[in-house]
Chains A and B, each alone.
Chain A
Amino acid sequence: MAKKVKKSQSKIKKKVWVKLVAPPAFGKADLGEASVEDPRQAIGKTVTANLMTLTRDPKKQGINVRFIVRKMHESHAETIFNRYRLMPASIKRMVRRNKNRLDHSFKCKTSDGVLLILKPIVLTMNKCNRSVIQALRKKVVSFLFYNVGKKTFDQFVQELITAKIQISLKRSLSKLYPVAICELREAIVSSYPDTMKGTKPEGKLTVKPAVEEKKPAVKPVKTEVKTEEKPAKVEEKPAAKTEEKPIAKVEEKPAKPVKKSVTSKKSKEE
């Protein structure tokens, strides 16, 4: 019997909640929490968030952004931008008949050495010749290669979110042919340089005890507050009732009987 009891015992590790924080280009916004047995397991996890919630701009509700956990700190996990994506529902609304849709996909590098896959989408005002589309496609490639190559990864992300790249691309394309919509449908990070890659911390981590300490610290505070407030309310209520009620009653009561007495006199007289 004793042996059976030993077999049924299983080692279950307690999971820890790790707070995920967006990169500084997104204002270090809260992305959520991940439950992990060991905080080191959080590295490499992906989180997707809507750009509207991060920037508080309702115009950007059709864009999703993905982040990857890169580093662990004492209180939170640091993330890095991984993907920018226009949702298919918003693209579907853009495309109309009697207009040309131009798609492209290519790889280009930033000055930091981050390899990106860019997928631009261009919609012309009217139906146009194939030669025009070809020229537009060349212009898109040359513009993005030149402008992305000059900038660092952080600068690129900043301009992507604020739509500066899209606006300047539209301006340059409209010299060739009037363009209705010019967007980056997708921007995916294909590979990071070694300096940007996430590193797993060595030795003991301080995240685990820090999170465990917080939970018991919160509960006693709540109980203390309740115990302090309740007696205070009990003491106040009777005091307020005793002070207010008699004054109100004294003022109202004499007013009512006067009216009644008048009506009663009139009725008697009649």
Chain B
Amino acid sequence: MPKPIIDHSKCTGCNTCVEICPMDVLKKSDDKDKKIDTTDNECIGCRACEVQCPEGCIKVQD
């Protein structure tokens, strides 16, 4: 199963990945450390978040 792995130190919380994800795998979190979090939805591994992220802090692992 593919899964997005977020580098929270680089993430600015711009929400582009949340908007672009077709399966709603990513969501905005209220935690101070994690600006974006993953949900239980199934990731199809389209890598849209990886390509679109302006900081390049998301990597999808197969």
Residues of A within 8 A of B (CB): 106, 108-109, 111, 138, 141-143, 145-146, 149-150
Binding site for A on B (CB under 8 A): 16, 19-20, 22, 44-48, 51-52
Known A145-B47, A149-B20; further 7 A-B contacts with Cβ < 8 A: A108-B48, A141-B22, A142-B46, A143-B46, A145-B46, A149-B48, A149-B51
A150: B residues at CB distance < 8 A:
51
A143 to B44 CA separation, bound complex (whole angstroms): 10
Q: How far is the CB of A101 from chain B (nearest CB, A)?
A: 21
Within the complex, which residue of B16, B44, B52 is in contact with A141, where a contact is CB–CB below 8 Å?
Answer: B44
CB distance from A147 to the nearest CB of B (A): 9
Interface of B is mostly: helix
Nearest-CB distance from A16 to chain B (Å)?
42
Cα(A111)–Cα(B56), bound, Å: 13
List the B residue with the shortest CB-CB distance to A151. B51
Report the minimal beta-carbon distance from A31 to chain B, rounded to whole angstroms. 32
Which residues in B have their C-beta under 8 angstroms from that of A109?
16, 19-20, 52
Complex CA distance for A14 and B47, rounded to whole angstroms: 55
> B20 contacts which of A138, A142, A143, A145 (Cβ < 8 Å)?
A145
